[in-house]
Structure 1
Amino acid sequence: MPDPGPSPLQSSLPAAAARFGAHVLTHTHVLAPASGVEPVAGARYALPCPPALPFVPVPDGGPGGDAVAQPAQEGAAAVRRSSAALERILRGPSGLGTASLHPARRAETPVPPAPEAPAAGHPIPGLYHHPVPEPDPARVEEVSRRIKAWALDEVELYPEEWADQFDGFHVGRYMVACHPDAPSIEHLMLATRLMVAENAVDDCYCEDHGGSPIGLGGRLLLAHTALDPLHTTKEYQPDWAQSLHADAPRRAYRSAMEYFLQEASPSQADRYRHDMARLHLGYLAEAAWAQTDHVPEVWEYLAMRQFNNFRPCPTITDTVGGYELPADLHALPPMQRVIALAGNATTIVNDLYSYTKELASPGRHLNLPVVIAEREGVSDREAYLKAVEVHNELMHDFEAEAAALAAACPVPSVLRFLRGVAAWVDGNHYWHQTNTYRYSLPDFW
Structure 2
Amino acid sequence: MPEPGPSPLQSSLPAAAARFGAHVFANALASGIEAVGALSTVPADAPVGVPVEVPVPLPPAGPVDVPVSEDGPAAAVWQASPALERILRGPSGLGTASLHLAARAEVLPAAPAAPAPEEPVPGHPIPGLYYHPIQEPGPARVEEVSRRIKDWAVDEVDLYPDDWEGEFDGFSVGRYMVACHPDAPTVEHLMLATRLMVAENAVDDCYCEDHGGSPIGLGGRLLMAHTALDPLHTTKEYQPEWAQSLHSDAPRRAYRSAMEYFLQVASPSQADRFRHDMARLHMGYLAEAAWAQTDHVPEVWEYLAMRQFNNFRPCPTITDTVGGYELPADLHAPAAMQRVIALAGNATTIVNDLYSYTKEQASPGRHLNLPVVIAEREDTSEREAYLKAVEVHNDLMHEFEAEAAALAAACPVPSVLRFLRGVAVWVDGNHYWHQTNTYRYSLPDFW
TM-score, reference length from structure 2: 0.79
Quick one: higher RCO (CA 8 Å, sep 6+), 1 or 2? 1
Alpha-carbon distance change, 55 to 436 in structure 1, aligned in 2, over 3 angstroms: same
**Which of 138, 146, 154 is residue 148 of structure 2 equivalent to?**
146
SS state at 1:280 partner: helix
SS state at 1:149 partner: helix
* Equivalent position of 2:24 in the other structure: none
Alpha-carbon distance change, 46 to 382 in structure 1, aligned in 2, over 3 angstroms: closer
**Which of 33, 36, 40 is residue 66 of structure 2 equivalent to?**
36
Alignment of 1:7-18 (within 5 A): 12-13=7-8
Tell me the distance in 1 between the aligned counterparts of 2:232 and 2:433. Answer: 36
Alignment of 1:122-201 (within 5 A): 122-201=124-203
Alpha-carbon distance change, 117 to 272 in structure 1, aligned in 2, over 3 angstroms: farther
**Which of 411, 425, 429 is residue 427 of structure 1 equivalent to?**
429
**Which of 281, 299, 306 is residue 279 of structure 1 equivalent to?**
281
Tell me the distance in 2 between the aligned counterparts of 1:249 and 1:282. Answer: 17
- CA shift, 1:13, in A, is 3.7
1:98–1:412: 8 Å Cα contact kept in structure 2?
no
Deviates more, 1:115-124 or 1:323-332: 115-124
* Equivalent position of 2:266 in the other structure: 264
1:11–1:426: 8 Å Cα contact kept in structure 2?
no
**Which of 309, 322, 325 is residue 323 of structure 1 equivalent to?**
325
1:11–1:423: 8 Å Cα contact kept in structure 2?
no
Tell me the distance in 2 between the aligned counterparts of 1:331 and 1:103. Answer: 31
* Residues 272-293 of structure 1: CA deviation (Å, up to 9, x unaligned): 0000000000000000000000
Alignment of 1:77-116 (within 5 A): 100=106
* Equivalent position of 1:383 in the other structure: 385
Tell me the distance in 1 between the aligned counterparts of 2:119 and 2:8. Answer: 20
Percent of residue pairs bearing the same amino acid type: 81
TM-score, reference length from structure 1: 0.80
Tell me the distance in 2 between the aligned counterparts of 1:268 and 1:42. Answer: 28
Is 1:49 the counterpart of 2:80? The answer is yes
- CA shift, 1:47, in A, is 2.6
Tell me the distance in 2 between the aligned counterparts of 1:425 and 1:116. Answer: 25
Tell me the distance in 2 between the aligned counterparts of 1:372 and 1:401. Answer: 26
Is 1:227 the counterpart of 2:222? The answer is no
- CA shift, 1:117, in A, is 5.9
Tell me the distance in 2 between the aligned counterparts of 1:42 and 1:271. Answer: 26
User: Matched residue pairs, number?
Assistant: 378
Alpha-carbon distance change, 53 to 129 in structure 1, aligned in 2, over 3 angstroms: farther
Tell me the distance in 2 between the aligned counterparts of 1:349 and 1:236. Answer: 43
**Which of 256, 261, 264 is residue 254 of structure 1 equivalent to?**
256
Tell me the distance in 2 between the aligned counterparts of 1:378 and 1:160. Answer: 43
Alpha-carbon distance change, 191 to 46 in structure 1, aligned in 2, over 3 angstroms: closer
Is 1:311 the counterpart of 2:341? The answer is no
Is 1:291 the counterpart of 2:293? The answer is yes
* Residues 350-389 of structure 1: CA deviation (Å, up to 9, x unaligned): 0000000000111000000000000000000000000000
* Equivalent position of 2:23 in the other structure: none
1:183–1:321: 8 Å Cα contact kept in structure 2?
yes
- CA shift, 1:39, in A, is 4.5
Alpha-carbon distance change, 15 to 181 in structure 1, aligned in 2, over 3 angstroms: closer
1:373–1:380: 8 Å Cα contact kept in structure 2?
yes
2:68–2:410: 8 Å Cα contact kept in structure 1?
no
Tell me the distance in 1 between the aligned counterparts of 2:376 and 2:398. Answer: 26
Larger radius of gyration: 2
Alpha-carbon distance change, 39 to 368 in structure 1, aligned in 2, over 3 angstroms: closer
1:34–1:47: 8 Å Cα contact kept in structure 2?
no
Tell me the distance in 1 between the aligned counterparts of 2:77 and 2:227. Answer: 40
2:297–2:373: 8 Å Cα contact kept in structure 1?
yes
Residue type at the aligned position of 1:141: E
1:272–1:315: 8 Å Cα contact kept in structure 2?
yes
Tell me the distance in 1 between the aligned counterparts of 2:72 and 2:397. Answer: 24
- CA shift, 1:331, in A, is 0.1
Structure 1 residue runs without a partner (length 5+): 1-9, 18-32, 60-94, 105-112
SS state at 1:389 partner: helix
* Equivalent position of 1:6 in the other structure: none
SS state at 2:89 partner: coil
1:350–1:432: 8 Å Cα contact kept in structure 2?
yes
1:226–1:253: 8 Å Cα contact kept in structure 2?
yes
* Equivalent position of 1:239 in the other structure: 241
Alignment of 1:52-71 (within 5 A): 55-56=88-89
- CA shift, 1:37, in A, is 1.4
Alpha-carbon distance change, 253 to 273 in structure 1, aligned in 2, over 3 angstroms: same
Tell me the distance in 2 between the aligned counterparts of 1:272 and 1:219. Answer: 19
2:9–2:401: 8 Å Cα contact kept in structure 1?
no
- CA shift, 1:437, in A, is 0.2
* Residues 409-445 of structure 1: CA deviation (Å, up to 9, x unaligned): 0111100000100010000000000000000000000
Residue type at the aligned position of 2:80: C
SS state at 1:131 partner: coil
